[in-house]
Amino acid sequence: MSEVTSSHVVNEVRVDDDRSLGSIIAEIKDEFKEFVNTRVRVIKAELHETLGAAKTALPLILSALVLGFIAVLMFSLAIVVLLASAFPGNPYAFFYGFVIMGGILIATAALAAFFAVNAFRSGAFPKRTVEVLKEDRIWLQTEARSHS
């Protein structure tokens, strides 16, 4: 008896009808592993780039924060003295100056925190990776629909 095997071409890929289900599943598993490994490497590369830039900028950011804090402290004290002079002869003049300045600083801090939270919400994850993963999901959905 002669054994007959058939094969045909689907989307320019040769498909053998005599392949076992186990070999097809193994191939799908290997392709999925390769797919996941590629995406993980892309995410790691993007995070490595981000961390490299952060390591370079960190000392400069810390210097700016320390000097900025000292400058805010000096200007705050100057404004407190200016506000205290608005209450001449009042024994609580400096208290009022500090309270008013504290209110101004709290309002400024709340506004800065609001903008910081919004900035983190808009760009907290690598954008290129997310876009590639969305495109991959759409591609997988269209492939699954076309083969079912």
Mean model confidence pLDDT for the chain:
83
Contact 96, 84 (CB under 8 A): yes
Instruction: Decide: 83 and 97 in contact? Cβ < 8 Å.
Output: yes
Q: Is residue 79 part of a domain?
A: yes
Q: How many domains does the chain have?
A: 1
Instruction: State the pLDDT confidence band at 14, using cuts at 50, 70 and 90.
Output: low
Give the per-residue pLDDT at 54.
80
Tens digits of per-residue pLDDT, 59-78?
A: 889 999 999 999 989 999 99
Chain-centre distance for alpha carbon 107: 27
pLDDT band at 32 (very low <50, low <70, confident <90, very high): confident
Q: Is residue 128 part of a domain?
A: yes
Q: Among 12-21, 106-115, 119-128, which range has the highest average pLDDT? A: 106-115
pLDDT at position 4 is: 46
Write out the residue range of the structural domain in which residue 75 sits.
Answer: 8-143
Counts for the chain of helices (H) and strands (E), in that order: 3, 2
Residue 35 in domain:
yes
Residues in the chain: 148
Q: Which residue has the tokens 């997988």?
A: 140
